[in-house]
Amino acid sequence: MSNAPLMPKATAVWLVENTSLSFSQIADFCKLHELEVKAVADGEAAQGIKGQDPITSGQLTREEIERAQKNPNHQLQLAVSKVRLPPVKPRKGPRYTPVSRRQDRPNAILWLVRNHPELKDSQIMRLVGTTKTTIAAIRDRTHWNAQNLTPADPVTLGLCSQIDLDFEVAKAAKANPDAVLRKEEEPETLLSADVTTAEDAPERELDVESVFAKLKQLKRDDADEDDDDRR
């Protein structure tokens, strides 16, 4: 039996929202990185994921949570389940996607690329059933519909299950733990002026003579109107 809850990220969401456990306690129990739990608490990760109550699912007891809340050094222990589930076997090859949901795949790929850059192309292919060519086009913004793409959680779209997504993310994080740290530490910066103004059209030079000519014409028109009023 695995030492992690069935839905680690969904369980972490519930523990963050309903308990006063520390990030390290939640991360240790859900087998996540502490920065991932912090991102969940800050609303930067796991958006759209509904929290999974580990008490009702029999994975934790209320007494165990209270014991951990009183002692920050206490590590949560997974409750012994009476139901034995078969181990989850990773899929081989790309996942089959129904025709009605295939138009959602580019949005899901964009979400995975932005929120989980540690995932390999082969893992994204398994999750949403796509090709390396499509992933590369979305990464490089050369996809034919790149301007209209909107990042969307593949779990919410129904392209994969939360269990499959958590499995692939945990596998990628284990293979490359520094990727998670880089993802959280990268600062958001504004584009330089050279980039934002590179394609701007050159400003036209001011035509001084034309401006004075218009002013003289306005004065003549005003003088003519005054003469008409006197008459």
Please write the tens of the pLDDT for every residue from 184-201.
555 545 455 554 455 544
57 shares its domain with 107: no
When divided into structural domains, the chain yields a total of 2
The answer to the question of residue 228 being in a domain is no
Q: Whole-prediction pTM value?
A: 0.41
pLDDT bucket at 216, cuts 50 / 70 / 90: low
Max CA distance (Å), the chain: 108
Tokens representing 34 are 């502490």
Least confident of 27-41, 76-90, 163-177: 76-90
Asked whether the predicted pLDDT for residue 25 surpasses 90, the reply is yes
**Mean pLDDT across 9-13:** 91
The answer to the question of residue 37 being in a domain is yes
**Mean pLDDT across 123-142:** 91
Tokens representing 103 are 């138009």
Q: How many CB atoms lie within 10 A of CB 54?
A: 26
The answer to the question of residue 12 being in a domain is yes
Residues 171, 118: contact at Cβ < 8 Å?
no
Quick one: CA dihedral 68, 40, 32, 59, positive or negative? positive
Selected residue with higher pLDDT from 213 and 153:
153
The answer to the question of residue 65 being in a domain is yes
- Single-letter code of the amino acid located at 85: L
Per 3-state DSSP, what percentage of the chain is helix, strand, and coil (rounded to 5)? 55, 0, 45
179 shares its domain with 115: yes
List the domain range (segments joined by +) for residue 43: 8-70
The answer to the question of residue 204 being in a domain is no
Per-residue pLDDT at 135:
93
15 shares its domain with 59: yes
Per-residue pLDDT at 19:
92
177 shares its domain with 103: yes
Which of 93, 118, 102 has its CA nearest to residue 157? 102
Tokens representing 90 are 């990773």
